[in-house]
Chain A
Amino acid sequence: MNEFIEIKGARIHNLKNIEVRIPRNKLTVITGVSGSGKSSLAFDTLYEEGKRRYLLFSGEQYTVDTDSKFETITGLSPTVAVEQRIIRQSNPRSTVGTRSKVGHLLAVLYASYGDRESMYDDGLPLSMEFFQKNSPKGMCVKCLGTGRHQETDEEAIINKTIPIKSIFDGFLMKHRIHKANFKKFCELHRIDVNAPIGDLSDEQMLLFKYGCRLSGFVGAVVFFHDIQKHAISKHMRHNKEGKEVELWGVKLALVVCPKCHGTGLGEQAIHTTIEGKTITELENMYIDELLTYLQDERGSLPGKNIIDEIILKLQCMVDVGLHHLALSRQVPTLSGGEIQRLFLASFIIAEMDSIIFILDEPTIGLHETEKEKLINIVRSLVNRGNTVVAVEHDENFMRAADYIIDLGPDAGIFGGERIFQGSPEQFMLCDNSRTAPYLSGDLKLNAKRHYKSMDTKKLLMIEHANLHNLKDVTVSIPLGLMVGIAGVSGSGKSSLINDTLVPKLRQLLKSKLVYERDESDGSAIIDQGVLVTGIEHIKKCIVVDQRPIGRSKTSCPATYTKITNKVRAMLANKPEAIDGGYAAGLFTINSEGGCRACKGDGIKSYYIGFGNFVEVECEICGGTGFIEEALSVTLDGKNIKDIMDMSVAEAVEFFGREQSEAYNKSVLAILTTLQRVGLGYITLGQKTPTISGGEAQRIKLAKELCKQTGSGNVYILDEPTTGLSFSDTARLIELLQQLVDAGNTVIVTEHDPSVLTNCDYIIEMGPDGGSYGGQVIAQGTPKKLGIDEQSIVGKYIKQVLL
């Protein structure tokens, strides 16, 4: 039996033909700065090969790699991975309940043992699909399971004072499909489009609103409704910057579906209860509350077998720190760390050994107390006879490891080498690692000694916040400082800042609030009772979160930061482009420049049966995705593909040379900002799915930093140091401090005590998660929290300050 997994000649991405040995039945941590190659080793090499071999062995899969990623790997077992990037979910119908399958169990329970109200009981049993709102059998037919219904306010859309031709800003008269029938309608009924709408007779008004069969005109109300549908779904797809959806002056509202009252379920399901509770009520409870309820009521509830299985699964979810979630919680609203732990819970439930688990920063988003719990869970996986390989930055996790592999020394092409492999004790003595000095204590993140004092005249006050678990919270955020919001998972940090403060600020500041947000994940519900004052001190508010920067597979850092537009314009201005008649649109794969054969992907997928695909480089474009003409125009010797393949660091050099024709100040400004937030290693054309949440946030931050200057701005960031190594964290904190020094406010939600010690003021939520949280338990300078007995994070801050 092999004691080690041996990888020889790993060379994918930036790995430089390295050799590593990973001990089996131990916990190994792979460390290194962001971009050093950790994920390339752990996921793209180890995980992928384990998966491929296992499936090959079972006769199922057949894949062909065009480039071999390594020379040899021995000592493999089946691999199971939980990678944040792969599992970044965007389907709003996916919930904690559907993912963990606890939702299915509840559906079976209700189908088998539920009591139906007599009016809805036809004597025939219901199947489990009737309790699943994603099933066509179980969903509410009015809202199709979404729980929300689009209303059309007929009064609002027909303005009787304006001339008929001006309705919908004249759009009806111009609409490609409907304008002809509308013209026929007007002719048929002798209607003068210059006359006001109010002049129409009752009979004409009815036809005008609901359609006239003779002419084929569908009616103004129907027309509006149809456009409204498209507008809402387009808005959801394209993340319009924080604006409310408005169509020709009419606000479009989504209300709670009147048929299912927001549950999304059909009639049979909403009238079925067990001990007086519907399935929706159980799915909306916090998991720890649900667990307690089931454990207490186990004696009297029907279906003991199912209940026991549900209890087992819920207990696992509590153990991995997900007690503050509810089964109905939509997966896209979860943080990367929470999604990961959801998957982890299912592995523990499986109770298998001799598996190689590969984890991607499992401690992300966890509070210090929760990290300890997680480390114990991971250790128990190892003790059961499995091998665990984790990519991590967390100090405590590294100390708990049996074995460490360090990659580096730096990022991108400056990384990819094996710096060290061995025990943690030996690691601390390592000389050329960027990480070791932080672990051994030789290097430390600077903690502030002097805190900026707050100006009592410049406060942003939130009063009576009651959303979710918040318990009538009133708190003042001092402006002009670095403010940290701390607290365990589920204590109410996001509910206070993201779900209460931000929507309220959007309402009050309107276009002065900048926030790219995906509307489809939910509630644009504003806590009506909350009061926010002090906005007169705010010039502009910029909100940056970790959600992916673009939905389509062709979005990348360059397009997001609008660098691509500028580069394309530069290319289109070259003489050979002008001669050839090439416009800027040629230099993008989305438009004219894309290879016709592979649609710009660069690869073609061939289906080879059994659900497997083989990816082969497109022979027409040679894998570039561009047509020849697009590649023929160069800027200082590099064509569009070469430029997109550059890392930010390389691009800074390329666009920064003053004598070169590629010199461009605005592109350079964006690129240097990206470097400043620690993203020098990512490539301009890197596809969004490969970018982690933390990286996405920093790209967004860089974009905003480039735009805004001066003082009086408020930046709201959500765990910005997620996924950052020590040195990158230090750099980011420096950057944020510069913002504060320039007269801005930075509000950061954070777990990391070292980052919190760099704040001037901390507001701590707690004491625990879910219904045990929702209060401000401590506030003040880090030093003050260090001695405050009520503060939980204070103890950890104190340790850092010593």
Chain B
Amino acid sequence: MSYEWSFSTPEEEGMDRNVLEQVDQYIRQKRYRLVNSVLVVKNKKIVFEQYYNKFDEHSRNYIKSIWKSILSIVTGICLDKGIIKSLDEPIGNYLQEFTQQHHPYHKLITIRHLLTMTSGIYWNGGVHYHCPMVAQMMRTNDWTAHIADIAMSNVPGMHFQYKEWDVMLLSAVIGRACGGTAYDITKEYLYEPLDIVSGSWPQSPCGFSYTVMKGEEASDLSARDLAKIGLLLLNDGKFNGKQIVSSEYIKQIVSTSSSHAIVDTRATDNGYGFLWLLYPNGYGARGFGGQELTIIPGKDFISVIQATPTSSSKFYGDIHENVLSKAIL
């Protein structure tokens, strides 16, 4: 199923052309040399597109943690199809590593806790989120068993902490539930209907999909494809006339489960949905090193920024804040 994008001009869709045209100058002035793509979709049409560093509309870029937000949609698809029975199922139903009496709290961890980053498993993200604990885990042969060995810092559901463990376990649950990997579900029920171009996601030695490891390039997506995810959410889970994921689930994705999302340090009063960041006027997905997908539903507005990451994880949110969003009339 291929998807044909519609194009339009800023004026026709209620945006200020002059402001949008300042994007290029803004990026050059700020010397954001690593920014590769900037895209604005308004009222479902592409109204602005700018590429740098020899990128074009087909070029694919790292998505990093935007993967988490995509996994959340995949979870909704699994729920709709009955592959998982309920979000409040204990993960022990799928991961027997968590039924081994390693810790009294394990029995309490549910899929919902994974979606809301409240599993309570001990996490130290390291300086600039370089994830030293993941480095240790990656040297073992069974990542799920290793995570089951980790100390618990909180009773599940009590404390929000952004970390990698929760999405890894979520990916493992989906994999075990469907008898394959999370990528299998993603490919068949999300990427193909949306005509998103991607390679096969790498896997852990114990067989669950994870992207931030050797083979990461396979998960790269283009700016336009990321915008399609935005369209899916704006359209209550429908794409091209087909219900990809239920609208009830979409509503939950973008509702507050905890406050204090610590990833986006600019924002002061944000929430966190099901692996999606919530803002006063919308929601979004973020990835290490400048990957941004932002949606303002009230204005039918989607913006995408992609960049080449560095170890200090620079973010370019100001492009959206200071220019793109200001162009909305």
CA distance A268 to B108 in the complex (A): 30
| Chain B residues with CB under 8 A of A141 | 122, 133, 136, 146, 149-151
Q: Mark A245-284, 1 if CB is under 8 A from B, else 0.
A: 0000000000000010000001110000000000000000
Q: Which of A215-223, A347-355, A482-490, A716-724 contacts B (4 or more CB under 8 A)?
A: A215-223
From B107, B108, B135, B151, give the contact of A137 (CB < 8 A).
Answer: B135
CA distance A210 to B150 in the complex (A): 19
From B104, B122, B124, B140, give the contact of A222 (CB < 8 A).
Answer: B104
B155 at the interface (CB under 8 A from A): yes
| Chain B residues with CB under 8 A of A126 | 139
The answer to whether B136 touches A130 (Cβ under 8 A) is yes
| Chain B residues with CB under 8 A of A137 | 132-133, 135-136
Q: Mark B279-315, 1 if CB is under 8 A from A, else 0.
A: 0000000000000000000000000000000000000
From B88, B105, B122, B136, give the contact of A225 (CB < 8 A).
Answer: B105
The answer to whether A267 touches B140 (Cβ under 8 A) is yes
Shortest A472–chain B CB gap in Å is 38
The answer to whether A135 touches B132 (Cβ under 8 A) is yes
Shortest B203–chain A CB gap in Å is 16
CA distance A267 to B88 in the complex (A): 33
CA distance A266 to B136 in the complex (A): 8
Complex: chain B residue closest to A225, CB-CB: B104
CA distance A219 to B109 in the complex (A): 13
The answer to whether B149 touches A259 (Cβ under 8 A) is yes
The answer to whether A210 touches B104 (Cβ under 8 A) is yes
Interface size on B, residues (CB 8 A): 21
Shortest A148–chain B CB gap in Å is 11
The answer to whether B155 touches A218 (Cβ under 8 A) is yes
Given A136-B124, A137-B132, A141-B151, check contact A219 B139 (CB 8 Å).
Answer: no
B179 at the interface (CB under 8 A from A): no
The answer to whether A144 touches B151 (Cβ under 8 A) is yes
| Chain A residues with CB under 8 A of B135 | 137
CA distance A267 to B155 in the complex (A): 26
B residues 250-300 in Cβ contact with A at 8 Å: none
B126 at the interface (CB under 8 A from A): yes
From B108, B122, B149, B150, give the contact of A211 (CB < 8 A).
Answer: B108
Q: Which of B104, B126, B150, B151 has the most CB of A within 10 A?
A: B104
CA distance A462 to B66 in the complex (A): 66
Complex: chain A residue closest to B139, CB-CB: A268
The answer to whether B155 touches A222 (Cβ under 8 A) is yes
Given A137-B135, A222-B104, check contact A213 B155 (CB 8 Å).
Answer: no
The answer to whether B108 touches A222 (Cβ under 8 A) is yes
CA distance A142 to B145 in the complex (A): 12
B110 at the interface (CB under 8 A from A): yes
A202 at the interface (CB under 8 A from B): no
Given A142-B149, A142-B150, check contact A219 B107 (CB 8 Å).
Answer: yes
| Chain B residues with CB under 8 A of A266 | 136
| Chain B residues with CB under 8 A of A226 | 155
From B104, B132, B150, give the contact of A129 (CB < 8 A).
Answer: B132
Shortest A215–chain B CB gap in Å is 12
From B108, B126, B132, give the contact of A219 (CB < 8 A).
Answer: B108
CA distance A138 to B107 in the complex (A): 27
Shortest A44–chain B CB gap in Å is 35
| Chain B residues with CB under 8 A of A211 | 107-108
CA distance A211 to B92 in the complex (A): 14
CA distance A210 to B149 in the complex (A): 19
A455 at the interface (CB under 8 A from B): no
Complex: chain A residue closest to B146, CB-CB: A141
A residues 477-495 in Cβ contact with B at 8 Å: none
A residues 176-234 in Cβ contact with B at 8 Å: 210-211, 213, 218-219, 221-222, 225-226
The answer to whether A210 touches B108 (Cβ under 8 A) is yes
The answer to whether B150 touches A136 (Cβ under 8 A) is no
Q: Mark B136-179, 1 if CB is under 8 A from A, else 0.
A: 10011000001001110001000000000000000000000000
Q: Mark B98-110, 1 if CB is under 8 A from A, else 0.
A: 0000001101101
A802 at the interface (CB under 8 A from B): no
Q: Which of A120, A137, A226 has the most CB of B within 10 A?
A: A137
Shortest A685–chain B CB gap in Å is 37
Shortest A138–chain B CB gap in Å is 7
| Chain B residues with CB under 8 A of A124 | 139
| Chain B residues with CB under 8 A of A225 | 104-105
| Chain A residues with CB under 8 A of B150 | 141-142
The answer to whether A210 touches B132 (Cβ under 8 A) is no
CA distance A139 to B122 in the complex (A): 12
| Chain B residues with CB under 8 A of A154 | 104
B residues 102-130 in Cβ contact with A at 8 Å: 104-105, 107-108, 110, 122, 124, 126
| Chain A residues with CB under 8 A of B105 | 222, 225
The answer to whether A138 touches B136 (Cβ under 8 A) is yes
A residues 99-155 in Cβ contact with B at 8 Å: 120, 122, 124, 126, 129-130, 135-138, 141-144, 152, 154
CA distance A135 to B90 in the complex (A): 31
Complex: chain B residue closest to A144, CB-CB: B151
CA distance A209 to B255 in the complex (A): 32
| Chain A residues with CB under 8 A of B140 | 267
CA distance A226 to B157 in the complex (A): 13
Shortest A476–chain B CB gap in Å is 46
CA distance A120 to B104 in the complex (A): 28
The answer to whether B132 touches A152 (Cβ under 8 A) is no
CA distance A126 to B132 in the complex (A): 13
CA distance A136 to B155 in the complex (A): 21
From B88, B122, B146, give the contact of A213 (CB < 8 A).
Answer: B88
Given A213-B88, A221-B104, check contact A136 B126 (CB 8 Å).
Answer: yes
Shortest A717–chain B CB gap in Å is 39
Shortest B279–chain A CB gap in Å is 29
Given A135-B132, A152-B104, A221-B104, check contact A143 B139 (CB 8 Å).
Answer: no
Complex: chain A residue closest to B106, CB-CB: A210
CA distance A120 to B151 in the complex (A): 22
The answer to whether B108 touches A218 (Cβ under 8 A) is yes
Shortest B195–chain A CB gap in Å is 38
CA distance A120 to B146 in the complex (A): 13
| Chain B residues with CB under 8 A of A120 | 139
Complex: chain A residue closest to B107, CB-CB: A210
| Chain B residues with CB under 8 A of A135 | 132
| Chain A residues with CB under 8 A of B104 | 152, 154, 210, 219, 221-222, 225
| Chain A residues with CB under 8 A of B107 | 210-211, 219, 222
Q: Which of B108, B135, B136 has the most CB of A within 10 A?
A: B136
Complex: chain B residue closest to A138, CB-CB: B136
| Chain B residues with CB under 8 A of A122 | 139
CA distance A154 to B140 in the complex (A): 30
CA distance A266 to B126 in the complex (A): 17
CA distance A143 to B103 in the complex (A): 12
CA distance A222 to B101 in the complex (A): 12
Shortest A666–chain B CB gap in Å is 45
The answer to whether A136 touches B132 (Cβ under 8 A) is yes
| Chain A residues with CB under 8 A of B151 | 141-144
| Chain B residues with CB under 8 A of A219 | 104, 107-108
Complex: chain A residue closest to B123, CB-CB: A136
Complex: chain A residue closest to B131, CB-CB: A136
Q: Mark A647-665, 1 if CB is under 8 A from B, else 0.
A: 0000000000000000000
Shortest B87–chain A CB gap in Å is 11
Q: Mark B38-59, 1 if CB is under 8 A from A, else 0.
A: 0000000000000000000000
Complex: chain A residue closest to B147, CB-CB: A141
CA distance A406 to B136 in the complex (A): 57
| Chain A residues with CB under 8 A of B126 | 136
Interchain Cβ contacts under 8 Å between A and B, 6 examples: A130-B136, A136-B132, A137-B132, A141-B149, A142-B149, A221-B104
Beyond the given A136-B133, A137-B136, A141-B149, could you list 9 further A-B residue pairs with CB under 8 A, ordered by the A residue number?
Answer: A137-B135, A141-B146, A142-B150, A144-B151, A152-B104, A210-B107, A219-B104, A226-B155, A259-B149
Which 9 A-B pairs rank lowest in CB-CB distance, beginning with the nearest? Answer: A137-B132, A136-B132, A136-B124, A141-B150, A210-B107, A221-B104, A225-B104, A136-B133, A137-B136
